[in-house]
Structure 1
């Protein structure tokens, strides 16, 4: 691959439009652009999560793979009608989710974001993932999309929740559970 971005500014977006990978231009506030941007934001949050982990943490490999998937997902949104995310991606998420969830105790209460910096960052990624899913649902009402992309985001948010639970429990830590009696005035 040659130099794809030899010049970073082009001034072509100064009119409020942006170019899709297929060469078409659309408004920067279009739902498709929102989907691309939210996938990118989620990828950034996962990158930040990785940076909270020790360099030899086995979880990094899983999170890097997810980052690559999210980059592909953004590319899928940048080319209307394309399909990059497939059932194999969803199956991988489900298998990974099951392996991380198996050692955890059953939930008996809601979990608050926190427990450790890594767990809190993972919850932040989960929340952005849920927003990405909502954006993709909205896009699907305007334009056809690959439904596996929506399924992928749904499973990914579940996986991020489970990983956050695991991270909160590391090194003798605890999850922060919601207590109804503490929400009263």
Structure 2
């Protein structure tokens, strides 16, 4: 990855196409570009969650652990985006999926079983974790759409799936660490 941007605008995309690292030009709504955009959006939302975690760390014990687990995910999402931009490039490793699974298992042991459906909210941190979770699902869907046209490595799809699981558990853990009750879903009353 020795090539760096020295100029931000090139005008080559003004007609609705963009270039991939392998030299191909594709429409900006190509499934590969859609997938890259969703991964980028997820990374941006995750950055917001991490910034909020850092700001709140002094108020709530145990938030540092969440930052330690989630911060590397930004780097891995950048790797994933690199793989989408450069199909021959392979950076994301299966051990990253195992790292997420270990955190999920550890956090779930602290939380106990989920008793009901929960709604996103309770605090800004909890809500932002859910925004990240839903964005991870969007990225996963876009990557799956691309996968039907151009095969992706299974690790990419598994990583996004596991990351969305991790973010759901992180939202629950944030509620516990902030001493907030989870907002339980209440079904609409049937018509009388």
Q: Does residue 63 of the first structure (1) align with residue 70 of the second (2)? A: yes
Partners of 2:153 and 2:73 in 1: how far apart?
A: 18
Which secondary structure does the structure 2 equivalent of 1:18 belong to? Answer: strand
Partners of 1:46 and 1:61 in 2: how far apart?
A: 13
RMSD value over aligned CA atoms? 2.0
Partner of 2:114: 107
Which secondary structure does the structure 2 equivalent of 1:26 belong to? Answer: strand
In the TM superposition, 1:28-177 aligns within 5 A as: 28-54=28-54, 57-177=64-184
TM-score normalised by structure 2 residue count: 0.89
Partners of 1:26 and 1:114 in 2: how far apart?
A: 39
Displaced runs of 4 or more, over 3 A = 181-185
Any stretches of 5+ residues in structure 2 without a counterpart?
Answer: 58-63
Displacement, 1:12?
Answer: 0.5
TM-score normalised by structure 1 residue count: 0.92
Displacement, 1:182?
Answer: 6.3
Partners of 2:129 and 2:190 in 1: how far apart?
A: 24
Displacement, 1:184?
Answer: 7.3
Change (3 A) 1:2 1:80: closer
Q: Give a deviation string over 1:108-146, Cα, whole Å, max 9, x none.
A: 110100111001000000001001111111111101111
**Number of residue pairs matched?**
185
Greater shift in the superposed pair: 90-99 or 48-57: 48-57
Equivalent pair of 1:115/1:169 in contact (CA under 8 Å)? no
Partners of 2:167 and 2:127 in 1: how far apart?
A: 11
